[in-house]
Amino acid sequence: MNLYNMKASKILKRTVYLLTATGFTFHATSHSDFLPFPLFPDKIKAGIDGIVRSSRAISTITFTIADYKYSLYSLSVGSEDYLCKLSEVHLRSAKRILKLCEMNKGFYVKAGQFVAAIRQVPKEYSSTLLSLQDQAVPCDFKSIKEVLMSNLGQHLSEIFISLDEQPIAAASIAQVHHAILRGNQEVAVKVQYPGLEHKMRLDIAIMSFLSKTVTWIFPEYRFGWLVSEFAGTISLELDFIQEAKNSEKTAENFKNNEMVQVPHVFWDFTTSHVLTMQFCKGCKVDDLDSLKEIKANPIKVAKALVEVFAEMIFVHGFVHGDPHAGNILVSSEGRNGFSLVLLDHGICKTLDDTFRVDYCRLWKALILLDSDEIKHLGEQFGIGQYSRYLPLIFTGRSIDSKSVLGAGMSAEERRKVKQELVSLTVADISSFMESLPPNFLAVLRIDGLLRSIVSKLKAPQQIRLLAYGKYALYGLAPKSNLKSDFAIDVVFARFKTTFSYLHLRIILEVLQLLSWMRKVKQLLHRLLGEIIGIARSVLTLSSSDVL
């Protein structure tokens, strides 16, 4: 070992020892009942709680760093042994981080959910952290009541005829209570947990510190983009006034769409920490048993869901940024037998119009497999050499694929792609994610969440691909100004968009037909071969009998 490597090894060991010592200092305080919290004022309790939470995070990441460093030591990168061991370490580390999120709660749960929704992280992390989606411990109603009274400035009996103390939903930053206002309106009251701003600043500072520490020790593991994106996202969720405005903007965008419901906001009883909105009934969008009870076809629900979000992304440029199943209900009311209720508009993304148009062009190119256009748009997005992986990420095909959209890859294509992906290093993946514009990261996460729901509804992914292609064309159509443009121009623009979509649809159907014909041809060849084989056997037996 040369002098440089010896020094690096010593620095690493000292860092690991230091971080581990910091973690162990408070490791014994992992359980909140260890500390005599009732003896301290609130500010001191909050400070001690912050230290405990931070120490847990530091010790967890320290153990994880050591696990990666020493489990993979001396293994050849890319070898079968290395990949097998790497998967084992990923799984152990994911379970370790899951436990951290469950113990620290709050923003750590939210961060875990955020990571689980990104398909580009190792599958061991996304599948393990997915369990955080439905994990949230409600806050004691006494604390909730204090938040309500301090924000609304009145005694609760003056505002509500009734207010259920038991929440109907609980998440990582707020919980929701069913209530009836004095005007007899049935409402859902969303109440933010107390003291979140302070916790957010501390937790994100620790996450940033840990991210930089990991990068210092493992330069190829760079997670600054993830912490930055999460910090920006979570800060949006803490302002319920902004969430209410987002809700109203979404409602306005879909005012002519009977398939979409957005709860009405009661502004007199809404503040930055309390959001009072219309109570809407419905079942979770991925609850197959409940969908069956209300006679809603899961395939039609999946189609409506992806079309609604495709319209947001490709046409409106204003999109609900957190479409997990808990935020989307299916109501039995609607012209087609059901409608979608969109909840929780805290994370809404306004897409830059240049990005929106380029993203529309990308999806048109992805569906038609226009590799030159895909590469050109990759340059526009700033991902250069990694643009060849965009078809794989979004449509499950390689950039040189000849397979039908939605049909997956052939065995030969899968083999080539696997070889190509094995050559990618962690540094390559980090570089790719770092180079993505914030808007692209947002739509990537949204797409991942939608794909998960479509899969749970047992709907073919081709529904999603076709919806994206359709609305990408709508998004590329010139926006007509009905006040100044001639009516003939408006009609022509609509006709042109419809014709482009029909052209695209015909191409897809022809490709599907050709694929089906190839399969039939292969089947006939196989059957003919079997018939010839049987005939030869019969002739051989007959010849034997004659002899």
If asked whether residues 416 and 490 sit together in one domain, one would say: no
If asked whether residues 436 and 523 sit together in one domain, one would say: no
Within-domain flag for 357: yes
Give the whole-angstrom CA distance, residue 426 versus residue 128.
Answer: 20
The share of the chain scoring above pLDDT 70, in percent, equals 74
Within-domain flag for 538: no
If asked whether residues 509 and 395 sit together in one domain, one would say: no
Instruction: Tell me which of 322, 352, 489, 545 is the catalytic residue.
Output: 322
Question: Are the C-beta atoms of 285 and 305 separated by less than 8 Å?
Answer: yes
Q: Which of 133, 150, 181 is the last residue of a domain?
A: 133
Q: At residue 25, what is the residue type? A: T
If asked whether residues 307 and 445 sit together in one domain, one would say: yes
- Whole domain around residue 87: which residue ranges? 3-24+46-133
Q: What angle do CA 178, 180, 186 make, to 5 degrees?
A: 75
Within-domain flag for 195: no
If asked whether residues 385 and 467 sit together in one domain, one would say: yes
Q: Average pLDDT of 417-425?
A: 68
Task: Tell me which of 445 and 290 has the higher pLDDT.
Answer: 290
List pLDDT tens digits, range 222-247: 666 667 777 777 777 889 999 999 99
Within-domain flag for 32: no
Within-domain flag for 155: no
Provide φ and ψ at 503, rounded to 5°: -60, -45
List pLDDT tens digits, range 50-72: 678 778 888 888 888 888 888 88
If asked whether residues 468 and 485 sit together in one domain, one would say: no
Query: Three-state DSSP class for 183?
Result: coil
Q: Average pLDDT of 380-392?
A: 85
pLDDT, position 265: 97
If asked whether residues 492 and 441 sit together in one domain, one would say: no
If asked whether residues 492 and 391 sit together in one domain, one would say: no
Q: Average pLDDT of 187-206?
A: 83
Within-domain flag for 241: no
Burial class, 512, CB count within 10 angstroms (exposed 0-12 / middle 13-18 / buried 19+): middle
Within-domain flag for 245: no
What confidence tier does 26 reach under pLDDT thresholds 50, 70, 90?
Answer: very low
If asked whether residues 494 and 449 sit together in one domain, one would say: no
Alpha carbon 338 to its chain's center = 25
pTM for the full predicted model: 0.74
- 203 is known as an active-site residue: no
If asked whether residues 325 and 403 sit together in one domain, one would say: yes
Q: Which of 96, 115, 133 is the last residue of a domain?
A: 133
pLDDT, position 39: 44
Within-domain flag for 62: yes
DSSP annotation of 477: S
Q: Provide the domain count of the chain.
A: 3
If asked whether residues 378 and 468 sit together in one domain, one would say: yes
Mean pLDDT of the chain: 79
Closest CA to 425 of 23, 78, 187: 78
Number of helices (H) and strands (E) in the chain: give both, helices first: 20, 11
Q: Which of 105, 133, 161 is the last residue of a domain?
A: 133
pLDDT, position 527: 76
If asked whether residues 518 and 456 sit together in one domain, one would say: no
